[in-house]
Structure 1
Amino acid sequence: MANDMPDPVQFCSHVAKLHKLSTSPNNCFGFHVVTNQGKFPQAVEWDPSWQSFFTKMLKHSIKIDSQENGTIDALSEVSSRLIDSVIPLLLGPLESDGRTVKPCLIHGDLWDGNIGTDRKTGTIYIFDAGAYYAHSELELGMWRCQRHRFVDQEVYLREYLKNAGISEPIEMFDDRNRLYCIYMNIWASAHHTGGIDRDMAYKDILFLVNKYAPSSDNVLP
């Protein structure tokens, strides 16, 4: 297999098809066995609410990162405000005013290193999954991370959204994407002590806190 970036049309249509055709066995978010993000187990116990499920996943990832890299007071403070004040404002609207979120089977760790293209046939394969049923847009959080090649190639995001659409409220999509990227970067920080991933997560947390739950003590420069 080649590890070149996959054909965006074929790749994104397959990812969107996985999300659209998959069906949770109990209409809940989670998975029937514990799956891993890298070497760490994820918090994938079944939950009927996307906001509740994602909040528990994020809290778990922050706990693991703190165990691996130590606790920083400033990060702990803004992370608490993200969880308590921002997440309800960002994810709550997905499940209000008659809206619902479909639990979709996602790969869970879909970066370019987990994708290969058959050199002879052009068939695309994805592997090394940390799968569970989630909001389909969570899959795209990984594509925002600066360490991956997806971030410089917006054609993949455009192709995916052309096939799958955007959840309502549409105007909150980019902020949801930033929130989902935070989750992915915190896991990367837990795996790579001293890397930039925690700093990237911190900056994105500050951005969302300043936008949705501002105070005078954490304004971005």
Structure 2
Amino acid sequence: MRTTVDLLIDDNLVAAFPKGSKILSANRHGNSAWATTARIVVLLPDGTESMYFLKCAENDAGRVMMEGEFIAMSELHMWMPHFVPKPHSCGKYRIEDPEKYFFLSEYIDKNNSMPNPDDLCKKLAELHSISISRNGQFGFHATTCLGRQPQKVGWEKNWTVFFTKLLKHVTVADFDINGPWKELQMIEQQIFDIVIPLLIGNLEKDGRTIKPCLIHNDLWEGNTGTSNSNGKVYVFDSAAIYAHNEMEIGHWRCHYNKIHNEVYTKTYLKEIKPSEPEDEWDDRNRMYSIYYKIAYSCNQKAKGKAVRQDAYNDMYYLVDKYATSPKPLD
């Protein structure tokens, strides 16, 4: 039986499968901006063939990404096994120079057409409705990455406190990666000092509460796929956290995603109504989108300059509405 391989396979990767398994093929498949991806066909000890999806990345940053994705996808699979491919394992290659880490999951033969809005949003709403963190707090039990950017996911009882830390972490990373911008730094301070306590804080005032539900947290069209065998929508490449459900669709406001099409947001809101105060929903959606735009700026560096400015403009709008007017951007 011939084995075809066009990427590195070593003993540690083989050991992730049941003893006596044989890798029949391991060929590059799919695309990832931060990792190498492949499809692996394995002959199992019982004589059956099984296909897996492999992702691997180098150095400690790769370890954090692979471990984070495995744990995030495992958490999603626990709540919604019909919505994500079943995670298999993660681990480290035996080679040391450079260090290399992998993540394995069930392989789903899919096409990359835009996801059906009804299928996607019904499943997403189900995930948000049935899931809740074990400790009733916001955060996650392992570091997950938005792209290659690690997130600040330590547990917090209060959503406003958690979201503030989450956003502050990525804004600091943005200045480290892309350099200083005085006007952005000034307006971010007003966002943290004034806008977030008012706008996000309102969710937990006057007896209101919000549930820490599991969100995918990197849900754009590139992280979805429609199965060629059953026509169902699946999601991939999660940066999961337990959060306010509305944060999930803040990503859909970002113009650089095709899922920006308003049919997706409208369909989701038919499944789960906005939190109270309902009249502040659009402002919260704008606020949540800022997080994803700043993370995009971190990941894309110079290519994300226009999105970084877009985040500034969103902050300007919110500060102008909830605080004092900053200096306009020329």
TM-score of the aligned structures, taking structure 2 as reference length: 0.65
Report the equivalent of 1:170.
278
1:39-65 per-position Cα deviation (integer Å, ceiling 9, x unaligned) = 121000000000000000000000111
2:317 maps to 1:213? no
CA contact (8 A) 1:69 1:193 kept: yes
2:240 maps to 1:131? yes
Matches within 5 A, 1:34-45: 34-45=143-154
User: 179, 197, 200: which is aligned to 2:310?
Assistant: 200
Amino acid corresponding to residue 139 of structure 1 in structure 2: E
2:213 maps to 1:104? yes
Amino acid corresponding to residue 253 of structure 2 in structure 1: R
CA contact (8 A) 1:105 1:133 kept: yes
- Aligned with 2:142: secondary structure? coil
- Aligned with 1:133: secondary structure? strand
User: 189, 210, 217: which is aligned to 2:297?
Assistant: 189
Q: Which has the higher helix share?
A: 1
CA RMSD of aligned residues (A): 1.1
**Residues of 1 paired with 2:269 and 2:230: CA distance?**
26
**Residues of 1 paired with 2:205 and 2:244: CA distance?**
15
Matches within 5 A, 1:53-68: 53-68=162-177
Judge which range, 191-200 or 88-97, deviates more: 191-200
**Residues of 1 paired with 2:293 and 2:271: CA distance?**
26
Amino acid corresponding to residue 40 of structure 1 in structure 2: Q
Question: Identity, % of aligned pairs?
Answer: 47
CA contact (8 A) 1:35 1:41 kept: yes
Report the equivalent of 2:257.
148
- Aligned with 1:116: secondary structure? strand
User: 117, 120, 143: which is aligned to 2:229?
Assistant: 120
CA shift for structure 1 position 220 = 6.7
**Residues of 2 paired with 1:12 and 1:192: CA distance?**
28
Which runs of 5 or more structure 2 residues have no equivalent in the other structure?
Answer: 1-109
User: 198, 202, 215: which is aligned to 1:89?
Assistant: 198
CA contact (8 A) 1:210 1:218 kept: no
Q: Runs of 4+ in structure 1 displaced over 4 angstroms? A: none
- Aligned with 2:245: secondary structure? coil
Q: Which has the higher strand share?
A: 2
CA shift for structure 1 position 219 = 4.4
CA contact (8 A) 1:61 1:187 kept: yes
- Aligned with 2:111: secondary structure? coil
**Residues of 2 paired with 1:212 and 1:180: CA distance?**
16
Judge which range, 187-196 or 108-117, deviates more: 187-196
Question: Which one has a bigger Cα radius of gyration?
Answer: 2
Report the equivalent of 2:158.
49
Which runs of 5 or more structure 1 residues have no equivalent in the other structure?
Answer: none
**Residues of 2 paired with 1:69 and 1:17: CA distance?**
38
TM-score of the aligned structures, taking structure 1 as reference length: 0.96
- Report 1 or 2 for greater relative contact order, CA contacts < 8 Å, sequence distance ≥ 6: 1
**Residues of 2 paired with 1:220 and 1:189: CA distance?**
18
Amino acid corresponding to residue 218 of structure 1 in structure 2: K
